[in-house]
């Protein structure tokens, strides 16, 4: 009887362990699906180029107080950028040189986008836009190198 109980316990534990290892990932929360935004951590792959262009236009409009005319001119610029970037991201570089070439193409797209935005934005707006990009770039660089900026207390 004791052997049977021990065998049954061992079988139950092994079954539970096997089930825990093959558990399917949980789906994205309903709130994230309902809002149209991807779940946290799912990244930009979930958004279409149109959604990215809309999001960038809204963000820039809010940050720089764009006029409706500027918004209408900025969205096609962001749409072209998002479409081209998505096409490049779909390519899988096989060699390290290919990866560098891909990076250079992406940088050229970003430079062209910046030049187009410069013609749409006022001088003050463009300066503010560049400052925001530079801050974001610095933040990414610090994260890559492992630097943590400590906030100084005044």
pLDDT at 43 over 60: no
Of 100 and 34, which is predicted with more confidence? 100
Q: Would 59 be classed as within a structural domain?
A: yes
Determine the pLDDT at residue 22: 57
Answer whether residue 6 is part of any domain: no
Q: Is residue 36 part of a domain?
A: no
Q: How many domains does the chain have?
A: 1
Please give, one letter per residue, the 3-state secondary structure of the chain.
Answer: CHHHHHHHHHHHHHHHHHHHHCCCCCCCCHHHHHHCCCCCCCCHHHCCHHHHHHHHHHHHHHHHCCCHHHHHHHHHHHHHHHHHHHHHHCCCCCCHHHHHHHHHHHHHHHHHHHHHHHHHCCHHHHHHHHHHHHHHHHHHHHHHHCCCCCCCCC
**Would 16 be classed as within a structural domain?**
no
Evaluate whether residue 135 is within a structural domain.
yes
- pLDDT(52) > 80: yes
- Residue 74: band (very low, low, confident or very high) from pLDDT cuts 50, 70, 90: very high
What's the confidence (pLDDT) of residue 116? 95
Domain of 73, in residue numbers:
46-143
4 belongs to a structural domain:
no
Answering whether pTM is above 0.85, one says no
């Amino acid at each position: 009887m004791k052997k049977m109980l021990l065998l049954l316990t061992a079988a139950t534990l092994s079954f539970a362990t096997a089930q825990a290892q093959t558990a399917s990932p949980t789906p994205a929360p309903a709130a994230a699906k309902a809002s149209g935004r991807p779940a946290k951590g799912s990244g930009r792959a979930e958004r279409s180029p149109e959604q990215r262009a809309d999001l960038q236009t809204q963000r820039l409009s809010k940050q720089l107080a764009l006029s409706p005319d500027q918004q209408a001119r900025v969205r096609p610029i962001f749409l072209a950028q998002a479409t081209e970037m998505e096409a490049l991201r779909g390519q899988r570089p096989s060699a390290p040189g290919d990866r560098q070439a891909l990076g250079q193409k992406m940088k050229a797209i970003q430079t062209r986008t910046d030049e187009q935005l410069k013609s749409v934005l006022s001088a003050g707006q463009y300066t503010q836009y560049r400052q925001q990009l530079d801050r974001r770039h610095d933040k990414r660089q610090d994260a890559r190198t492992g630097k943590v900026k400590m906030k100084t207390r005044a």
